[in-house]
């Protein structure tokens, strides 16, 4: 019964692997697919709050809302976001969330 024994070993480990998966995914929410702009967003937009401020916005905010919100982060809250990043991030978030 060697073979059957080793199969049971893997079955016993399977739930552990499944339980560990969401922890690895939690770092970048699935709403933000990995790419150059994702890194920019993480770099520029997580100093003061979590990414959930971005990812939990209702869909359909629109390009203007995103670019106004990013300007607000800079003008009101003192975020350090160069102009070219502001536009790239606004475009990306509009593409993602509408
Ligand atoms: C210097 C700190 C700081 C940085 C950096 C920052 N934010 Fe914020 N953000 C805040 C504060 C404070 C609030 C809560 C007050 C508010 O809503 O204005 C907030 C709120 C928000 C909200 C919710 C606003 C709403 O009306 O629901 C969004 C969306 C947001 N930030 C997006 C961003 C994005 C995108 C970036 C990067 C481009 C960013 N933030 C970077 C300080 C910051």
**Which pTM value belongs to this model?**
0.79
**Do the Cβ atoms of 54 and 93 come closer than 8 Å?**
yes
Answer whether residue 14 is part of any domain.
no
Cβ(79) to ligand 1 under 6 A? Answer: yes
Cβ(90) to ligand 1 under 6 A? Answer: no
Structural domain of 58:
30-97
Domain count, the chain: 1
CATH code of the domain containing 85: 1.10.760.10
Under DSSP, the state recorded for 78 is -
* Residue to substitute in 39, 42, 43, 53 for testing ligand 1 pocket (most ligand atoms within 8 angstroms of CB): 53
C-alpha angle with apex 27: 26 to 29, nearest 5 degrees?
A: 65
Q: What is the mean pLDDT of residues 57-69?
A: 96
pLDDT in tens, 68-85: 999 999 999 999 999 999
pLDDT in tens, 38-58: 999 999 999 999 999 999 999
């Amino acid at each position: 019964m060697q073979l059957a024994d080793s199969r049971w070993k893997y079955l016993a480990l399977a739930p552990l692997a499944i339980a560990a998966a969401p922890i690895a995914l939690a770092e970048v929410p699935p709403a933000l697919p990995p790419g150059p702009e994702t890194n920019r967003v993480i770099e520029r937009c997580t100093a003061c709050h979590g990414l959930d401020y971005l990812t939990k916005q209702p869909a359909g905010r629109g390009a203007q809302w995103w670019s106004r919100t990013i300007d607000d982060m800079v003008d009101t809250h003192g975020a350090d976001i160069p102009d070219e990043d502001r536009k790239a991030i606004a475009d990306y978030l509009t593409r993602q969330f509408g």
